[in-house]
Amino acid sequence: MAKFSVSFLVLVSCTSLVFLSVAGDFVQGERAPPDTPPPIEATNDAGTDSNFDFVQGDASKIPPRPRSPDEGSPAGGMKLSVPKLSDEEQHSTSLPRQYRCIACQAVVYQIQLKLGEREQKQLKRERGKPLRESQYLEVFEDLCNSEWDGYGVKDVDGTNTLSGPGLPAENHMSMMSGGGLWPRRLNKKCGEIVEEIGEDELYETYYSMKAKPSGMNPELFCKTVVSDCKKKPEKNSTATKTKKETKASESNSNSEEKTKDEL
C-alpha cells in the first residue's frame, strides 16, 4: 500500500510538471512581440526619397507634402482675389465714373423691391391698386437714405466692379470691399436718378411694367433712360473730314484770288 502511494505521488508530480511547462510556453507565446514590419519609405510626387522623419511602421503619421501657393487651400478651395482700389475709389465722396451705370442698376433694382414690399402692406380693399402719391414718395425718400447693406466692390477677372443684390457680380466668388463711403455714394446716386427722372414717372414706369417677367429690367432701363448709361452717338468722322476739306479748299481759293488782285 505504501509503495502504491509513493508511485501515485510520483505520477501526480510528473503530470503537474508537464502541465506547468505547457502553460508556461503558452503564456510566453502570447507575450512574445510580433515580427517588426520593415520601415516604410516616404517618397514625394517625383518618386524620390523624402527628407521627412516619422515613426517606422505607422503610415498614418507620414507628414503631408508641402503645398505650393498656387495649389490653393488644403481643402482644395479656390484662391479668392482681393480688389485693389485706387485713391479715388478709397477716398472720393463722389461715385467714380466707372461705377455710375452699374450703380444705376442697383438703384432701379432696389426701387422695384421696395415698391413691391410697400404694395404688400396695403389694406385688402387697396390691393391691386396703384400706391397713393404720398406712399411712393415715402418709399423713394426712405430708399435714398438707407444703409445700402451688401454693396461694395469685387475684383471680377481683373476688373473692379460694383457688387450687391440685383447685380451680375453678386454671386461671383471673390472678396468684396464694402462699407466706408459706398453707402453715401449710393445714397447720392439714388437721389440723382429720382431727381433726373421724377418720382411720378418712376412709379408709373414701375407700375406699367411690373407684370412683365423682367419688370423694369434695370440694365435696359438705365441704358435707355438714365444719362450716365446712355450711349453717346458716335461722331461721323467722314462728315467731319469733308467739312474740314471744304473749309481748306475755300481758304486756298480766297488766297489765290487775293494773289491775282495783288499782281
Q: Copy the grid coordinates of residue 103.
A: 450703380
Q: Coil, helix or strand for 152?
A: strand
Backbone angles phi, psi at 167, to 5 degrees: -110, 150
Residues 177 and 152: beta-carbon distance below 8 Å? yes
User: Is the pLDDT higher at 76 or at 123?
Assistant: 123
Check pLDDT > 80 for residue 204. Answer: yes
Whether 30 shows a pLDDT value over 70: the answer reads no
Better-scored residue on pLDDT, 138 or 248: 138
Which residues in 71-196 belong to E strands, given as ranges? 152-156, 159-163, 176-178
Residue 239 reports pLDDT greater than 50: no
Quote the mean pLDDT of the chain. 74
Categorize the per-residue pLDDT at 49 as very low, low, confident or very high, splitting at 50, 70 and 90: very low
Is the model more confident about 90 or about 31?
90
Do 114 and 139 contact (CB within 8 A), yes or no? yes
Range from 26-40, 89-103, 105-119, 177-191 carrying the lowest mean pLDDT:
26-40
Counting residues of the chain whose pLDDT is more than 90, the rounded percentage is 44
pLDDT in tens, 118-160: 999 887 778 888 999 999 999 999 999 998 989 999 999 999 9
Q: Is the pLDDT of residue 19 over 60?
A: no
**What is the mean pLDDT of the segment spanning 238-261?**
53
Global pTM value: 0.60
Largest Cα–Cα separation, the chain: 179
pLDDT the model gives residue 53: 44
Calculate mean pLDDT across residues 216-221.
Answer: 92
pLDDT at 149: 87
pLDDT value of position 75: 46
